[in-house]
Structure 1
Amino acid sequence: MDETQIYEARLEVIDFLIEVFYDAPDEEFLGRLFSDEVAVPEGEINDPMDRGFERLEAFIEANRSRSVEDVSDELRTEYTRLFVGPRPPALPHETYYREDTDFIGEGLAELEADYSAAGWKPHEDYPEENDHIAVELAFLRDLVDRQRRGEEAAFGFERVFLDEHLGRWHEAFLETVQDEFDMKEAEANLFLAATEVFVGLVEFEDELVAQQVPT
């Protein structure tokens, strides 16, 4: 895989995760997923990402022949239970998992300062707080795209972002999501698959950026 393909693969994985976590996956997304427009990387990458994509393939095979409307309705119910509430067990917010700040507290201001330092601002229409997983992934996507266009400073911004933010809560988030499913339920669960891919992505990005910006 050449450099161009690696950038494309990184962006495709991030786009997939944003679509899963931004809101309950809609019928359009599921239609693309079931028609194989969302490509699963070939070969081994790292353990959590490999497990996540295996689980994603199982989800696709288990639901491909079903009505996308029915699958979408089920996913919306599950998304609400897991991530929205009332009293959701796996709030997808960085500050919910950080022990050094209160939920939507001081840590949120620090995160927003890092966004600003990198010259990035979350979309104004997005209803969630800026430490929501989809917002953080959107920032990561911007940095990867800037790296693709030759902006070396974007590697440094990503190094800080991984060290100070994504890399400090991704594993706790996965543990919380895992606790919500028994073994049978987990075999083909889209949200657990995406959470594993998310953890694998953070690990992959950490190794890649370390080659450009030593820790």
Structure 2
Amino acid sequence: MDDSAVYEARLELIDFVIEVFHDTPDDAFIERLLTGATETPGEAVNDHLDNGFEELRTFIEENQGRDPGAVETELAKEYTAIMVGPRPDVLPHETFYRDDTEFIGEGLADVEASYGAAGWNPPEEYGEENDHIAVEFAFLRYLIERQRAGAEETLGFERVFLDEHLLPWVEEFTDHLGEKTDSSLFRAAAYIAAGTVAFEDEIIAQLL
């Protein structure tokens, strides 16, 4: 795989996680999944990504031929019950899973400081606190796009962000959501999130 293809693969993984978790997946996204527009690797990558792709294939098989709007309605109910509340089981926020800070506490400022150091502002359309998984993955997307443009300093920003923010909590979130959800799509996205972080960890280690 050449450098361009690797960048595209990295960004596609990140975009998938953002699409599933920033809000209820919409019917256009679901339709793309169910009409065969999504390809998964034929070879093993890492355990979490492999499990995520298997769950994604299960989701597609379970819902093949169904109305995307009906699937969206089911996912919206599950998303709200599990991750919104009024009493959600899973909160996809870094500070929810960190023992060294309170939920939406001082740890949030540390996340935002990482964004500011790299010159990035979170997108307003996500409507979530800045330690939400979709926002943290949007920051990864920004760093990878800058790397592709030749900004080598972003390798260091990503190394620090992985070590200090994503790596300490994403696997725990993945395991927790896997226990609580009945949706193969949400399990797929959680596994793919953890697998993507592990994948990025390896890539950055090779590039620095």
**Normalised by the shorter chain, which TM-score bucket?**
over 0.9
Contact 2:22 2:126 in 1 (8 A): no
Give the superposition deviation at 1:141.
Answer: 0.4
**Mapping of 1:71-82 within 5 angstroms?**
71-82=71-82
Measured after TM superposition, the shift of residue 28 of structure 1 is 0.6
Mark the runs of 5 or more structure 2 residues left unpaired by the alignment: none
Map of 1:90 onto structure 2 = 90
For 1:127-161, what per-residue CA distance to the aligned partner results, in whole angstroms no more than 9, with x for missing partners?
Answer: 11000010000000000111111111111000000
Cα separation, 1, equivalents of 2:82 and 2:140: 23
Give matches, 1:93-108, under 5 Å.
Answer: 93-108=93-108
Q: Deviations over 1:64-120 (max 9, x none)?
A: 211111100000000111111111111000000000001001100011011000000
2:204 aligns with 209
Separation (CA, whole Å) in 1 of partners of 2:125 and 2:64: 32
What are the residue-to-residue correspondences of 1:47-196 with 2, within 5 Å? 47-181=47-181, 185=182, 189-196=184-191
Q: Quick one: distance in 2 between partners of 1:126 and 1:78?
A: 19
The count of residues paired between Structure 1 and Structure 2 equals 208
Preserved CA contact (<8 Å) 2:166 2:197: yes
User: Given that residues 83 and 91 in structure 2 are in contact (C-alpha distance below 8 angstroms), is that contact kept between their aligned partners in structure 1?
Assistant: yes
Q: Hey, what's the Cα distance between the residues in 2 that align with 1:95 and 1:11?
A: 25
What is the TM-score of this pair, normalised by structure 1? Answer: 0.94
Q: For the residues of structure 1 that align with 2:63 and 2:125, how far apart are their CA atoms? A: 32
Superposed CA RMSD in Å reads 1.1
Alignment TM-score, normalising by the size of structure 2 = 0.97
2:59, 2:185 within 8 Å by CA — same for their partners in 1?
yes
What SS does the corresponding residue of 1:172 show, helix, strand or coil? helix
CA distance in 2, matches of 1:107, 1:56: 32
Question: What CA distance in whole angstroms lies between the structure 1 residues aligned with 2:67 and 2:61?
Answer: 13
> 2: CA distance between counterparts of 1:172 and 1:22?
19
Q: Distance in 2 between matches of 1:86 and 1:156?
A: 39
The reply on whether 1:26 has 2:6 as its aligned counterpart is no
Within 1, Cα distance between the matches of 2:157 and 2:42?
29
Q: Please list, as runs of the form range in 1=range in 2, the aligned pairs for 1:5-44 lying within 5 A after superposition.
A: 5-44=5-44
Moved over 4 A (4+): none
Asked if 1 retains the 8 angstrom alpha-carbon contact of 2:111 and 2:131, the reply is yes
Residue identity in the other structure for 1:74: E
Q: 2:193 aligns with which of 172, 191, 198?
A: 198
